[in-house]
Amino acid sequence: MRLKTILIISLYFLILQPLSGICETIDWQSYNDGIRQARKENKKVFLHFRTDWCGYCTKMERHTFQDESIAVFLNTHFIAIKVDGDKEKELVKAYKVTGYPDNRFLDEEMEAAYRIPGFVEAPALLFFLEYVQTDSFKKMDPMQYYKSR
């Protein structure tokens, strides 16, 4: 039994532990750094307003933002910015945030492109990421985009 336990632990460190490092995580930026980087790279911005006390914010971080497809898509096509609504009140006021979580998209000119208030599951967020990334928000509403895919 002891040998079996040692083998299982060894296998974990040899096989599973290195694989856990392969999972992509979102490269969150502060607001000023993220906007500067987005302008430099001519990228759109995903702006996520959250607070520590918000249950749905925690749920998004534990579920939605842990989805590897979300991390890969955000890191490839957007600059992801996380804003703490309790600490960055001037940004909350500037963007007229009234509840948390609040998810915004800015185009390459840092102009408002789209907004999704509240908790968003990973498949829905991925849909909206694609909707904004393809500039479809300029030509059609989300339902038209959904039907066109």
| Per-residue pLDDT tens digits of the chain, which is 149 residues long | 554 544 444 444 444 444 444 568 999 999 999 999 999 999 999 999 999 999 999 999 999 999 999 999 999 999 999 999 999 999 999 999 999 999 999 999 999 999 999 999 999 999 999 999 999 999 999 999 999 98
Identify the pLDDT of residue 22: 52
Find the helix or strand (DSSP H, E) in which 45 lies.
strand 44-50
Identify the pLDDT of residue 120: 97
Q: Where are the domains of the chain?
A: 24-148
Determine the Cα angle at 44 with ends 41 and 47, to 5°: 120
Under CATH, what is the fold of the domain 24-148?
Answer: Glutaredoxin (3.40.30)
Measured CA distances, 114 to 68, 102, 132 (Å):
23, 11, 7
Measured CA distances, 69 to 8, 15, 66, 88 (Å):
30, 23, 9, 28
Identify the pLDDT of residue 24: 83
